[in-house]
């Protein structure tokens, strides 16, 4: 389905990416994995497409970040890496990351609510609050670079950054385990395992996937029905009669 790729990509970018030695080598790979995971999840919940678009934009920015961070980590000088452009890219990456997390939180919340996994829906909102708190602290720290502000803002800034990364990893792994399997959606039949517990787990995962597909279809069907009811309610009696006659002829 995509949860596994999304989880590993997120872990690479927001956990391993905290280490300056690993950071230059994980950005492009991480966003490519997240894009692939989000593309799979989009089939089950359309809201994931917003996070997917953000992942594409962040992947493009990450190419420049890779070269800029490699200069610091490896001591290599790239003539085309300009400090002013790096600063602009950093701010764009920060804004894109915040938007990405907002889109991801709303998408996870929606699919979790459809499948009655209420804990994951609550966790998605909690993680969004942590991300927004980090965003506010980051802006304050960047725009007011005084020692007094740094002493107050920097510790909660670092704490919130680590907290939302870990909490989102836990959330994505929980979705991987509780909603549908990461490899869901493949039509090829799987050979049964020699272990009964594994076969029971696979059947449970397949059932969850069917529920996700059915919930998504029902959700869009209900939206279409409500839109149609609103349109017909605004029609005059004469227009409504014509519409009913047209539908009757179409059925006949």
Residue pair 103/47 in contact by the 8 Å Cβ criterion:
yes
Residue pair 3/180 in contact by the 8 Å Cβ criterion:
yes
Cα separation values, 150 from 8, 98, 131, Å? 33, 21, 19
70-84, 136-150, 159-173, 192-206: range with lowest mean pLDDT: 192-206
pLDDT given at position 6:
93
pLDDT band at 225 (very low <50, low <70, confident <90, very high): confident
Mean pLDDT of the chain: 81
pLDDT given at position 205:
61
Check pLDDT > 80 for residue 218.
no
Say how far apart CA 238 and CA 224 lie, in whole Å.
Answer: 23
| Biggest alpha carbon–alpha carbon distance for the chain | 78
Query: pTM for the full model?
Result: 0.69
Secondary structure of residue 62 in the 3-state scheme: helix
Burial class (CB in 10 A: 0-12, 13-18, 19+), 252: exposed
Residue pair 7/172 in contact by the 8 Å Cβ criterion:
yes
Residue carrying structure tokens 């704490």: 159
pLDDT given at position 236:
63
For residue range 135-177, what is the model confidence (pLDDT) as tens digits?
Answer: 999 999 999 888 888 889 999 999 999 999 999 999 999 888 8
Say how far apart CA 46 and CA 220 lie, in whole Å.
Answer: 10
Check pLDDT > 50 for residue 73.
yes
Nearest to 13 by CA among 174, 164, 153: 164
Residue pair 85/127 in contact by the 8 Å Cβ criterion:
no
Burial class (CB in 10 A: 0-12, 13-18, 19+), 145: exposed
Tokens of 204: 């449970």
């Amino acid at each position: 389905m995509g949860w596994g790729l999304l989880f590993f990509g997120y872990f690479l970018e927001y956990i391993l990416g905290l280490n300056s030695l690993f950071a230059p080598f994980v950005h492009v790979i991480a966003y490519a994995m997240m894009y692939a995971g989000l593309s799979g999840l989009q089939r089950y919940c359309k809201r994931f497409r917003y996070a997917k678009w953000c992942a594409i934009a962040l992947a493009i920015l990450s190419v420049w970040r890779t070269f800029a961070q490699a200069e610091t980590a490896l001591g290599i000088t790239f003539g085309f890496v300009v400090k002013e452009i790096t600063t602009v890219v950093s701010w764009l990456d920060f804004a894109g990351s915040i938007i990405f997390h907002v889109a991801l939180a709303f998408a996870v919340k929606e699919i979790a609510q459809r499948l009655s996994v209420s804990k994951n829906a609550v966790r998605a909102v909690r993680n969004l609050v942590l991300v927004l708190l980090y965003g506010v602290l980051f802006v304050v720290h960047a725009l007011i670079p005084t020692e007094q502000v740094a002493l107050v803002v920097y510790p909660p800034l670092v704490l919130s950054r680590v907290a939302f990364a870990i909490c989102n990893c836990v959330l994505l792994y929980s979705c991987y385990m509780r909603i549908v399997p990461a490899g869901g959606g493949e039509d090829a039949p799987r050979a049964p395992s020699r272990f009964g517990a594994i076969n029971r787990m696979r059947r449970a995962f397949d059932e969850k996937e069917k529920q996700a597909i059915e919930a998504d279809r029902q959700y869009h069907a209900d939206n279409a029905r409500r839109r149609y009811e609103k349109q017909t309610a605004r029609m005059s009696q004469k227009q409504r009669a014509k519409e009913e006659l047209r539908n009757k002829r179409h059925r006949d």
